């Protein structure tokens, strides 16, 4: 199953026909969180439990064409972000040059 977030934080199942909005099924099945909020995405953490409800609702909903929606990052609240600092050397040179002029 391929999932996505789209438009105004809607949750969708992606098929060859388009994107099926399964937001209601996901929200019914997700646990309710209180402060402090978890440092992970509750949707992703509960995906195994949500899978059956999402698949069932996707079969009952009409698909929306992919070209008519705005895709968002699939993970709404990532627990960590991993990046490759490809411009690190250039940034370091800029910082050192600014330090030398001060």
- Residues lower than pLDDT 50 in the chain: none
pLDDT for position 102: 64
Element (H, E) at 70: none
Bond before 53 cis per omega within 30 degrees: no
**Paired residues of 2 in beta bridges:** 14
Nearest-angstrom CA–CA distance, 57 and 52: 9
Nearest-angstrom CA–CA distance, 49 and 45: 9
The residue segments making up the domain with residue 57 are: 2-101
Q: Which two tokens stand for residue 58?
A: 């996707």
Whether the predicted model's global pTM rises above the 0.85 cut: no
pLDDT for position 15: 92
Structurally, the chain folds into a number of domains equal to 1
């Amino acid at each position: 199953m391929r999932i996505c977030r789209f438009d105004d934080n809607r949750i969708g199942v992606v098929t060859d026909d388009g994107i099926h909005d399964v937001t209601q099924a996901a929200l019914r099945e997700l646990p309710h969180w209180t402060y402090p909020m978890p440092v992970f995405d509750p949707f992703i953490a509960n995906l195994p439990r949500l899978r059956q409800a999402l698949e069932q609702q996707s079969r009952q909903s009409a698909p929306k064409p992919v070209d008519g929606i705005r895709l968002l990052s699939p993970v709404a609240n990532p627990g960590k972000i991993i990046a490759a600092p490809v411009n690190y050397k250039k940034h370091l040179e800029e910082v050192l040059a600014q330090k030398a002029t001060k």
